[in-house]
Amino acid sequence: MNTDPEKILDEIIQLTEAHKTVAPRDIALTLVQKYGDPEKDDWRKILPNIKKVAKEAALANEIHFWRKGKIVSPEGVRGVFRLMRATKESLAELNNPES
């Protein structure tokens, strides 16, 4: 299955509305459903590509990584995390964490 970074980023943006998070697994399943063969393609194989594209998008302030209800750095994130589209409010919170 083609895991074009643009398709991955488009899917992340489409699935993450303001104040809504999505699991990387759900993005992978959607990509396989849209562009692959659900009978043959294993969604787990594209998870590393999703994480890479998500990390780049997070560093560009397009999306955020969420873990345990808080925005976390995409650098070295481990375990369960979710993704959310960046909003003006979330960017302000990220830039002024004490406010």
- The string of pLDDT tens digits covering residues 21-64 is 999 999 999 999 998 888 888 899 999 999 999 999 999 999 99
The ranges assigned to domains in the chain are 5-95
Overall CATH class of domain 5-95: mainly alpha
Residue type, 86: A
* Residue 86 near residue 95, CB atoms below 8 Å: no
**Total-model pTM:** 0.84
Residue 16: DSSP 8-state:
-
